[in-house]
Homo-oligomer: A and B are copies of this chain.
Amino acid sequence: MKEFDIIERFFNQKCHQRKDVIHGIGDDCAITRVPEGLNLAITTDTLISGVHFPIDTPPEAIAHKALAVNLSDLAAMGAEPAWYSLSLSLPEVDENWLEAFSTSLFELSRYYSIQLIGGDTVQGPLSVTITAHGFVPNESPLTRSGAKPGDMIYVSGTLGDAGVGLDIQKGKLIASEHCVQYLINRLYYPSPRLLAGTALRRIASSCIDLSDGLIRDIQHVLKASECGARIQVDKLPLSVALKESVDVEDAYSYALGAGDDYELLFTVSEENKGTLDIALANANISATCIGHITGIKQKLELRFEDQPYQSLRSGFEHFS
């Protein structure tokens, strides 16, 4: 099976059509249109087999995760998904693998109404690079740089699940069956918090998505916003499955340091707290206040029931 047959059979035929895509797959470029008054958010993430996901990860999960991590970046800027390009490097042509991969990819694509507009298919080690595009209002976007001392720090959902899922997947941890399924799903099928992202426009002072672990990712906000943070570790939201699977100390360590959560971390001023509560309730979004921003530049303080807390884990680092 040749490159162009692969594209036609597994990708082009399954692609749904958005009105703002004038030319999709099949030419040297795609041609698209950005609606008047909107700006374009663009993000790129690469997942490599054995680095970003275990080599025995099912193709459905690879496809889901590769798109979801990009959607999560769009969510962190309050963007609405529009289009994406896909570069797929495959060691060989395995039709069953491609069928499972593309079916899962288009399931998520349709759910978020994001259209595949092109890309590249090459022979090489298994890796997936997606560049996703979304729309944001033509005003100050949600960034990492607006946090102010006194702002409250929130996270969506629960933390640490994917990290525990990974250790279960690697055989380092044993958990009960119903917990295993939940935690592995959190690792393989992260939920991009797109609804939360758009709900936070004009309300949050800063926002970032958690991919490398809370401790590590919050540093980007502190650096960009030139401030510090105090985190109440005992306030970190933990899932029932996580609490059932590891002891309490490990639970908070996973929540602080493990990656792949793809939840949003955001800050909100005291003044906007009321608006936030309404917006979260309206959109049925669960978020938890876990601390506040301080004036001490780039200093991260961890507290547990008001006592200093020493973390056992830190975030994932490439080339560390």
Task: State which of A1-9, A102-110, A230-238, A247-255 sits at the interface with chain B.
Answer: A1-9
B39, A22: Cβ atoms closer than 8 Å: yes
Query: From A125, which residue of chain B is reached at the shortest CB distance?
Result: B125
Residues 116-158 of A, flagged 1 when their CB comes within 8 A of B and 0 if not, give 0111111111010101011010100101110000000000000
Residues B2 and A317 in contact, CB atoms below 8 Å apart: yes
Say yes or no for A31: interface residue by CB 8 A criterion: yes
Return the chain B residue nearest A72 by Cβ: B28
Interchain CB contact under 8 A, A52 and B208? no
**Which residue of B has the minimal Cβ distance to A209?**
B28
How far is B87's CA from A87's CA once the two chains are assembled, in angstroms?
10
Contact status B42-A3, CB under 8 Å: no
Are the CB atoms of B127 and A23 closer together than 8 Å? no
Given contacts A23-B141, A41-B30, contact A46 B319 (CB under 8 A): no
Q: Which of A42, A51, A76, A134 has the most CB of B within 10 A?
A: A42
Residues of B near A93 (CB, < 8 A) are: 319
- In the bound complex, CA of A144 to CA of B26 (Å): 9
Q: How far is the CA of A138 from the CA of B33 in the complex (A)?
A: 9
A43 nearest CB neighbor, chain B only: B29
For window 153-206 of chain A, which residues contact chain B by CB distance below 8 Å? none
CB contacts (< 8 Å) of A41 on chain B: these are: 29-31
